[in-house]
Structure 1
Amino acid sequence: MSKPRNEERRRATQRLAIGLALLGLLALASLFIGVADVSPQSLLDPQTRAVALEALFDSRVPRTFALILAGSSLAVSGVIMQLLARNRFVEPSTAGTVESAGLGMLLMLMVFPGAPVVVKSLVAALFALAGTALFLRLLRRVPPHAPLLVPLTGIMLGGIIGSLTAFIAFRFDMMQSLGAWRHGDFSVVIAGRYELLWLTFALAALAYLAADRFTIAGLGGDMSRNLGLNHRQTMSAGLVIVSMVSAIVVTTVGSIPFLGLVVPNLVSQIMGDNLRRTLPVIAMTGAALVLACDMIGRLIVAPYEIPVGTVFGVVGSAIFLHLLLRHATRAA
């Protein structure tokens, strides 16, 4: 019994080490890609060192941290959302959570435009919590034998909320602000404008501590109560984590669709469904994918940029359709 467990732990440690090494290489490469001349040569040259260091610490380092924090936290919130909804095709951008957060942010800009970013994020989180709770309530009417209806229900709910948001933005001439939230764009991230994302790291850490509880909650209300778990309390904690992460990311850098759906499914195919073991890998994979998509967006039309949300939206939607079609084929 001990040998298989030791072998499993050894493999998990190896995967974690490989993931950390890959993430470190991507983060290092991200520091030296962009319009500004930040390279080892410019950092070593006395004539260009001051300008390169300023660009490095004011823009590149904050941007890299923001990419890692946003990618990892969205991936973690995606797997929590899937456990709460008991469906692998659900994540904040396919459940109306992101759209609800955007609606709350828009209303704050209209009513209290001078409010601090923290206050705007809290209001957006409340709207995201309400939108997610409405989605879970709608799931009660979805037949249990039709799992593909779950993401379609969330997409339709998100479409309704997004259309309402777009109408309000058009009516009050705020369409430009709305467009900035719908596409994750890290080009505006500088020192002093991303630090709120560190809260998502704390929320992801809380999710790891409660990983076993979320796993049991994913078995259903009756089963989890029979195992001694307070199902309602665990569901509420998961909803708060998902809503807070979605709101903070939307208000800081915008939306990155399908990230929380794609990453947990890819990791589960390789490592299984033990959330305690897979959650660190899910976080690292989400961060690595966002870093890679950001670098692609910076290089493909240099010196201009394509937002991360657009790049990953293309990749993520293709993987999402593949997962849907594969599930439909197996069901048939």
Structure 2
Amino acid sequence: MNFKLRKILHNKLFWLIFLILSSIYSLTIGVKDFNLLGLFTQNSTDINLALISRLPRLISILVTGASLSISGLIMQTITDNKFVSPSTAGTMEWSRFGVMIAILFFGGEATIYKMIVAFICSLLGTLVFMQLLQTMKFKNAMIVPLVGMMLGNVISSITSFFAYRLDMIQNMSSWLQGNFSLVIKGRYELLYLGIPFLIIAYIYANKLTIAGMGESFSKSLGINYKAVVLLGMVIVAVITSTVVVTVGSISFIGIIIPNIVSIFVGDNLRNALPITALFGALFLLICDMIGRVIIFPYEISISLIVSVVGSIMFLILLFRRKKNWSTS
């Protein structure tokens, strides 16, 4: 059974077809009636609805799911810890802190300023997290993400405090949780900024994999360890900040998807990147469809669906790894 499951997971064509079919079905979900045949018969109502709302939402979901999954995979590779991700290393909390600063100084409509400040803050926060890891003498697999979560909670509390004191609490709620219901044409294109960095991650995948084996091992192979790690953190910071600014924070994807892929595909970053992106996009798309149909015509926040499903899967992965540790 394990061999059959492994074979299915390796079949990228199968999952790609499944993703395409799920994407087509996702286009048909919504309060307003939409007919796919209207796209071929040049029905103006269906074409406008698809171009303005349905396609932008679908693209943003696919790009967000793939991006966050790859971000988690990169962080897990660099830190050599399967429980590290943008949500457990405090990267998302630092991005939200950056968004608050941008809103405070540049106003709520300055999206590009939000992106720049969120990127700077998330990069600095990730650097702080990595520096803390360097000073830790005891790096238990569970202690490392707990340190990141504690740091993230501190930054989140600071963000909430200033948002409340400066009467920004309503603005904060709009980007505190992931939400695709407001994604329309002209409000999601910022996500495209992360795509070139995904390509860079694939190009430098082998070097990132070597960097995850330690500084001394990297230097013995002629790899500039600090430069490669910094590149990985920049990639993660750019992707995380674009997602937070565009659709808000979405947790768990960066943890569970890379872990599931690594079980069946292995830890080689170059081999795992494509299937991780595919699974991340598919997972977020399915969660979005669940949130849209479960109490139709109303919609449940994507963050809530991902948190419920992701927490269950995370616990399964946690107990599985605990069982492996006890038997090893």
Q: TM-score, normalised by structure 2?
A: 0.93
- Contact kept, 8 Å, 1:66 with 1:197, in 2: the verdict is yes
- Contact kept, 8 Å, 2:133 with 2:139, in 1: the verdict is no
- Contact kept, 8 Å, 1:148 with 1:324, in 2: the verdict is no
- Contact kept, 8 Å, 1:142 with 1:149, in 2: the verdict is no
Match of 2:29 in 1: 33
Select the residue among 187, 192, 200 that pairs with 1:206: 200
Match of 1:251 in 2: 245
- Contact kept, 8 Å, 1:84 with 1:217, in 2: the verdict is yes
Deviation (angstroms), 1:328: 3.1
Structure 1 residue 223 corresponds to structure 2 residue 217: yes
How has the CA–CA distance of structure 1 residues 42 and 314 changed in structure 2, closer, same or farther, with 3 Å as cutoff?
same
Match of 2:14 in 1: 18
CA distance in 1: counterparts of 2:138 and 2:259, whole angstroms: 20
Match of 1:55 in 2: 49
- Contact kept, 8 Å, 1:70 with 1:200, in 2: the verdict is no
- C-alpha distance after superposition, 1:129-171 (max 9, x if no partner): 0111111111124344521101111111111111110111111
Q: TM-score, normalised by structure 1?
A: 0.92
Letter paired with 2:50: L
Alignment of 1:85-104 (within 5 A): 85-104=79-98
Tell me the secondary structure at the aligned position of residue 87 of structure 2: helix
CA distance in 2: counterparts of 1:145 and 1:98, whole angstroms: 22
CA distance in 1: counterparts of 2:93 and 2:60, whole angstroms: 21
Q: What runs of 5+ residues in structure 1 fail to find an aligned partner? A: 1-10
- Contact kept, 8 Å, 1:182 with 1:254, in 2: the verdict is yes
Deviation (angstroms), 1:224: 0.5
Alignment of 1:1-332 (within 5 A): 15-40=11-36, 49-113=43-107, 116-144=110-138, 146-332=140-326
Letter paired with 2:68: L
CA distance in 2: counterparts of 1:324 and 1:243, whole angstroms: 26
CA distance in 1: counterparts of 2:244 and 2:9, whole angstroms: 33
Letter paired with 1:295: M
How has the CA–CA distance of structure 1 residues 101 and 145 changed in structure 2, closer, same or farther, with 3 Å as cutoff?
closer
Deviation (angstroms), 1:178: 1.6
- Contact kept, 8 Å, 1:12 with 1:277, in 2: the verdict is no
- Contact kept, 8 Å, 2:10 with 2:265, in 1: the verdict is no
Letter paired with 1:275: L
- Contact kept, 8 Å, 2:83 with 2:255, in 1: the verdict is yes
CA distance in 2: counterparts of 1:159 and 1:322, whole angstroms: 24
How has the CA–CA distance of structure 1 residues 114 and 304 changed in structure 2, closer, same or farther, with 3 Å as cutoff?
closer
How has the CA–CA distance of structure 1 residues 35 and 177 changed in structure 2, closer, same or farther, with 3 Å as cutoff?
same
- C-alpha distance after superposition, 1:238-297 (max 9, x if no partner): 010000000000000011101011101001111111211111000010000111011111
- C-alpha distance after superposition, 1:182-230 (max 9, x if no partner): 2110111111111111111111111111110100000011101101101
- Contact kept, 8 Å, 1:83 with 1:214, in 2: the verdict is yes
Letter paired with 1:159: N
- C-alpha distance after superposition, 1:77-98 (max 9, x if no partner): 1100111111000000110100
- Contact kept, 8 Å, 2:85 with 2:255, in 1: the verdict is yes
How has the CA–CA distance of structure 1 residues 42 and 208 changed in structure 2, closer, same or farther, with 3 Å as cutoff?
same
CA distance in 2: counterparts of 1:12 and 1:34, whole angstroms: 32
How has the CA–CA distance of structure 1 residues 280 and 45 changed in structure 2, closer, same or farther, with 3 Å as cutoff?
closer
- Contact kept, 8 Å, 2:36 with 2:46, in 1: the verdict is no
Aligned residues: 320
